[in-house]
Structure 1
Amino acid sequence: MTISAIQSVLQQLQTTALSASSLAGPAEGVAAGGFSDELRKSLDRISDSQQHAYGQAESFELGKPGVALNDVMVDLQKANIDFQMGLQVRNKLVSAYQDVMNMSV
């Protein structure tokens, strides 16, 4: 994996973090918490997205008013996309780590 590929993954993470933080509140800046803090926040957002989607699905199954099937399906797809994105980021990070470890000095 090249440096540009790693930078591309980091840029995608930052873009996702900025777009998600703009929905959650004012941006704090990446430098304040560092990479591990941003990664933890991203994982928390993925978890929250999944919990919300499963909660919506359960509410629909129980027949609670105000929960439409199309909203449930969209929330479940969003949670799935969030999970797949997180999985791909993890795969890229593991691949980058392996490439760095295999470099000869």
Structure 2
Amino acid sequence: MQIGNSSLLQEMQALTREISPQMGIEANPLRQVNNTAGTDFGDLLVNALGNVNQLQGTASNLATRLEMGDTTVTLSDTVIAREKASVAFEATVQVRNKLVEAYKEIMSMPV
């Protein structure tokens, strides 16, 4: 039995539609950072890095407040913020690796 990409994607979307109303999860968790029509790649990169930096700052702030005994901060909020920051940072590292790889490939092309 072979599962194609499109059938797997359709299955995942069907499961998401079934789960979303029951669990209170938004149907489309992806969000667009900015309107990319006519936006410079450098600006998009700066915005993305700023977003990662903000997530890391928020996670650090929550961790500090939790350690200091702030009762308004829960452990689960702190762990979730840390994981969001970690995932965002890992994604940024992967994008950087791909950019460096593409640069090296372009530079090794004969002129």
| TM-score bucket of the superposed structures, by smaller chain | 0.7 to 0.9
TM-score of the superposed pair, with normalisation by structure 1: 0.73
How far residue 48 of structure 1 moved from its aligned partner, in angstroms, is 0.2
Aligned-CA RMSD value: 1.4
Aligned sequence identity (%): 35
TM-score of the superposed pair, with normalisation by structure 2: 0.69
Kindly report structure 1 stretches of 4+ aligned residues shifted beyond 2 Å. Answer: none
Structure with larger RCO (C-alpha < 8 A, sep 6+): 1
Larger radius of gyration: 2
More helix as a share of residues: 1
Distance in 1, Cα, partners of 2:78 & 2:38? 36
Secondary structure at the counterpart of residue 72 of structure 2: coil
Q: 1:55 aligns with which of 61, 67, 80?
A: 61
- The size of the alignment, in residue pairs, is 82
In structure 2, the residue matched to 1:81 is 87
Distance in 1, Cα, partners of 2:37 & 2:103? 22
Unaligned runs of 5+ in 1: 1-17, 22-26
Unaligned runs of 5+ in 2: 1-29
